Amino acid sequence: MEQLKLENQICFPFYAISRLITRAYQPFLDDLGITYPQYLVLMVLWEEDMVTVNGIANKLILNTNTITPLLKRMEKQGLIIRNRSNEDERKVLIKLTQKGSEMKLLAASIPESLLSSLKIENYDEQQFEDFRVTLKLLISFLKQSDENREKTVED
């Protein structure tokens, strides 16, 4: 059954890349005392502070029940503040603390440091950029497919 061989699956290379990239980031994030998912949340908030839990979950393609415990831990670390919206108390707004904002300066060197640490021979920046664009397109297709499946289930 060729279709069940791991090497023939589209999902496994993505899973492997995700795990290996997360592992490569970890030493840099350990210096900041944060995890990779926390780093992703911080990047969302560094782009736009005061975002709803749903806004962060949508941007990171996560369920709110996945992100809520993560945000609670970040609040205990003093990185964010969670507040109910005055306009709609069902919405929880996430805002950076001073500590969370200041961490942006410390994290600014991580992407470049990560690439340097990988020691990839014949590194071609354009190939990585092309690959990133292709991955973003694939993510868009998969999100659209997922949304269509959800609509079908609702109907």
Average pLDDT of span 7-25: 92
- Are 72 and 139 in the same domain? no
| pLDDT the model gives residue 153 | 67
- Are 22 and 80 in the same domain? yes
- Are 20 and 95 in the same domain? yes
Alpha helix (H) residue ranges in the chain: 11-32, 36-47, 53-60, 64-76, 98-107, 110-118, 125-154
Average pLDDT of span 135-140: 92
Q: Tell me, what CATH number does 47's domain have?
A: 1.10.10.10
Q: Which uninterrupted H or E stretch holds 1?
A: none
% of the chain exceeding 90 in pLDDT: 63
Average pLDDT of span 64-81: 95
Instruction: Tell me the per-residue pLDDT of 82-134, one tens digit each, with 9 for 90 and over.
Output: 999 888 888 999 999 999 999 999 999 999 888 888 777 777 778 888 988 99
Among 4-18, 43-57, 74-88, 122-136, the range scoring the smallest mean pLDDT is 122-136
- Are 19 and 70 in the same domain? yes
% of the chain exceeding 70 in pLDDT: 97
On whether residue 63 sits in a domain, the answer given is yes
Dihedral sign, Cα of residue 32, residue 33, residue 37, residue 38: negative
- Are 93 and 138 in the same domain? no
On whether residue 4 sits in a domain, the answer given is no
| pLDDT the model gives residue 67 | 94
Residue 20 structural domain: 10-100
- Residue 137 carries which side chain, given as an amino acid letter? L
Query: pTM of the full predicted structure?
Result: 0.86
| pLDDT > 90? residue 24 | yes
Dihedral sign, Cα of residue 34, residue 35, residue 41, residue 43: positive
State the burial class of residue 111 (Cβ atoms within 10 Å of its Cβ: 0-12, 13-18, 19+).
exposed
